[in-house]
Structure 1
């Protein structure tokens, strides 16, 4: 496995700039380096990847370092960090997909026992079967919701044929299968605890004609879908598309989608947090959840600011009014010290 990983890493290094453009699209080339905020594709200048040089040894192409954290490695490590992959095997599979290489012949293995339906283990197995959303129906769905430039978010994957059990036919012999957008639910430490599935219609690239067309599995209480690395500020809210839209408007704000009002109210907050932005949905449940979470945060000494929209949520505003208008509407709701920090320079 080690020699195979070395070979794949060297293959990646021969086309280092293409790797960076795919997985670190928020960055840019500067001389012999690709510069970006971090391995998760946050805008910034902390992480740099060498684009030229030998395929191995000192000064090799593909070697990277994050000056803020001290993390470093090769392009295989970068892919693993970018997509938050949990094993070398997953990283190798993803690299082979990028390089259009066939998978090696599988080795015989002991059959897995069946995971309990809806359990965290079942969520982990389903997540492992997903692939990045870039170029898939999931990306078309997000684009249709006005959410663009998020094709390499590590918390999202696509499954082309995900089981769906109709709730009024729980005893049916066979489930249906539909394509699905998968969103990884993690705890504060980044461990996968659950999964959120949005089933999609391949003909319309919209949600599938199912009721409900979204379901979550695994351990959800206190956890959420995390996008971006939490610092001293954080944005939280209910819906996945809501928080992806907020992340588009405020690209340097790490966000968490709690997936429901009740889970938002119970969300675990990191100790490092100094200021919390809560995206408030317009219904009673959303307002009550935001109030409950805000009270918990204030008791913990965390400054809390609500973010409201004109329609039901940030994605409704994004689709109705456009990105520039959404940013302009959010601007006066930000703490003064966060305006330049969170808004792109052209909008600040």
Structure 2
């Protein structure tokens, strides 16, 4: 259970996820908090006394600049790790491919990710959000961030595998949820459509 503070006042307690965001050298960057609904499997809806809808994902207290870091959810396997923006996105990527994953909190921090030493990482999978096109730039912000990271990591000598959801406007959490629900509805046929472990849709 986590306390939610707003304007220096405690609004209440909600179940939540507490994640350690680590910098490349292992120092703590921040503790990322995600507040959950106590009844349904969803994020909480938290409203201030004056009616403001509050953010249910917080990392407002940082010990050090966050550039380069990630939440290290799993251990790399065979020199491979996958990275993406949010917790749900990378877990969706893991469920789709069995590649162990870390999350970087957002697309800006994803583009700044630095592979830490000491893990033997040689291959980095990037699970990009397939955002709608930004009318100002004519580009998908999530894809742009992933491609920027890929370009830099390749220049540093890493093998990079890019993954993008099939449908624009979705991320890997959406894609895995859709596939899972379809398999629940269709039984054996739905399960036959599931990808084999470590089979990645890459480009």
TM range (shorter): 0.7 to 0.9
1:224 aligned partner: 70
In the alignment, structure 2 segments of 5+ residues that lack a partner are 47-53, 132-139, 184-190
Q: Distance in 2 between matches of 1:205 and 1:331?
A: 28
Larger Rg: 1
2:122 aligned partner: 274
1:179 aligned partner: 15
> How many corresponding residue pairs?
170
1:331 aligned partner: 199
1:292 lines up with 2:148 in the alignment: yes
Q: Distance in 2 between matches of 1:328 and 1:233?
A: 17
Instruction: Give yes or no for contact 2:21–2:71 (8 Å, CA) kept in 1.
Output: yes
1:319 aligned partner: 177
Once the 2 structures are TM-superposed, how far is the Cα of residue 287 of structure 1 from its aligned partner? 1.1
RMSD: 2.6
1:163 lines up with 2:3 in the alignment: yes
- SS in structure 2 of the partner of residue 229 of structure 1: coil
Q: Distance in 2 between matches of 1:176 and 1:321?
A: 36
1:254 aligned partner: 100
TM-score (norm 1): 0.44
1:245 lines up with 2:92 in the alignment: yes
Once the 2 structures are TM-superposed, how far is the Cα of residue 226 of structure 1 from its aligned partner? 1.0
Once the 2 structures are TM-superposed, how far is the Cα of residue 332 of structure 1 from its aligned partner? 5.2
Once the 2 structures are TM-superposed, how far is the Cα of residue 262 of structure 1 from its aligned partner? 0.5
2:31 to 191, 195, 199: 195
Once the 2 structures are TM-superposed, how far is the Cα of residue 227 of structure 1 from its aligned partner? 2.3
Instruction: Give yes or no for contact 2:35–2:44 (8 Å, CA) kept in 1.
Output: yes
Once the 2 structures are TM-superposed, how far is the Cα of residue 273 of structure 1 from its aligned partner? 3.1
- SS in structure 2 of the partner of residue 291 of structure 1: helix
TM-score (norm 2): 0.72
Once the 2 structures are TM-superposed, how far is the Cα of residue 196 of structure 1 from its aligned partner? 1.4
When structure 1 is superposed on structure 2, of 226-235 and 282-291 the one drifting more is 226-235
Structure with more contact order per residue of length (Cα contacts < 8 Å, sep ≥ 6): 2
Instruction: Give yes or no for contact 1:165–1:175 (8 Å, CA) kept in 2.
Output: yes
Once the 2 structures are TM-superposed, how far is the Cα of residue 313 of structure 1 from its aligned partner? 1.2
